[in-house]
Amino acid sequence: MPTDEKQEHLSINQFLETQLALFREHFVITRQNNDEEAIHKMRLAIKRIRTIHKLKKHLHFQTILTEEFYLILKSVFAASGKLRDIQVHRGLLAKYADKLRFSFSGLAEFLVETEKSTIDSLNKEIGHMNFEQEAHLQVESVEKELQPENCDIEAEIIDYIKCKIRFVQKLLFGHHDEENVHEIRKQVKQLYYILQFVKGYCQRSCLADYDLAAIDDLGNNLGSWHDRVVLKDRILEFAGAKGDDFMVENVEYQILLYVLADEKQKILRKLTVNLYLEMIILRVLLGENAPKKSHKPIIF
């Protein structure tokens, strides 16, 4: 195996080891007290690990983590995501209560009770897990050189990034479809984590000088859009349980839904244009021709 390719193989596993250490650290805190910041950082580590796992399906390398461990991570991520959403919603609702001068006390109480039951479910899911005692589930031997001869992992990663970019641009044609925006959000986050890895671990990369700030900001804005979508669903769940007349008799919730819809539209309008432009920038950096202006899918 050529030295450069071997080093890239090691770099991938070094990256995974770093993220695994972060996951373990914040998992312990999450299991102890369900700390909001610990849950957030634990989930970030899982997202980075899962991004490399997706790369594994397309590239010629084997990672140090077992398939069994990836399945465990998937269950932890799903269970903790429900609690993370509620914690975000409680923070958002407090801001809207202050901004709109309504207490939204009924919804606030509903979120508190939902949070309690979600914490119980999360604790049942992860309470028995001990990643120090079950280290054998996590690490595989990487002593063998598993890549085929003449394999260039970095080139394969760049090709994978190009495919991601083209897929995001294709999705942007349907940016008025909420399901498409959810998929865009997922793809942009994955793209960000792959680019973050490439900048830190692939020294020969043509993206070494690429500034991640723009795509990080786009991902955060997509996250803000998602938070409002899910909060809207939570409000409708709460109101639906109260009966048909609840929204009529409690007009403040109609106002809140209107504000959420307006903010979602504003976020998406600005974000879609900026995301399309950022994909063009990346394609140029990667040596691809930018699409013609007539192909631009931005229509309001």
For residue 56, what pLDDT band results from cuts at 50, 70 and 90? confident
For residue 209, what pLDDT band results from cuts at 50, 70 and 90? confident
Same domain? For 1 and 138 the reply is yes
Same domain? For 166 and 210 the reply is yes
Q: Is the dihedral of CA 279, 283, 284, 286 positive or negative?
A: positive
Is 95 part of any domain? no
Same domain? For 134 and 171 the reply is no
Q: What angle do CA 80, 83, 85 make, to 5 degrees?
A: 110
Domain residue limits at 32: 1-84+115-142
Query: Looking at residue 141, what is its pLDDT?
Result: 43
Q: Which long-range contacts (CB under 8 A, 24 or more apart) does 22-25 make?
A: 23/49, 23/73, 23/131, 24/131, 24/132
Nearest-angstrom CA–CA distance, 266 and 268: 5
Is pLDDT above 50 for 38? yes
Same domain? For 234 and 130 the reply is no
Query: Could you read off the pLDDT of 103-162 as tens digits, one per residue?
Result: 999 999 999 999 999 999 999 888 877 765 544 445 454 433 344 444 577 788 888 999
DSSP per-residue codes, 11-80:
HHHHHHHHHHHHHHHHHHHHHHH--HHHHHHHHHHHHHHHHHHHHHTTSS---SB-HHHHHHHHHHHHHH
Residue 53, classified by CB atoms within 10 Å of its CB into exposed (0-12), middle (13-18) or buried (19+), is: middle
What number is the average pLDDT over the span 274-294?
A: 79
Query: Looking at residue 142, what is its pLDDT?
Result: 41
For residue 298, what pLDDT band results from cuts at 50, 70 and 90? very low
What number is the average pLDDT over the span 57-77?
A: 78
Same domain? For 192 and 234 the reply is yes
Q: Are 67 and 57 in contact (CB under 8 A)?
A: no
Give the range with max mean pLDDT: 130-144, 251-265, 278-292: 251-265
Same domain? For 174 and 61 the reply is no
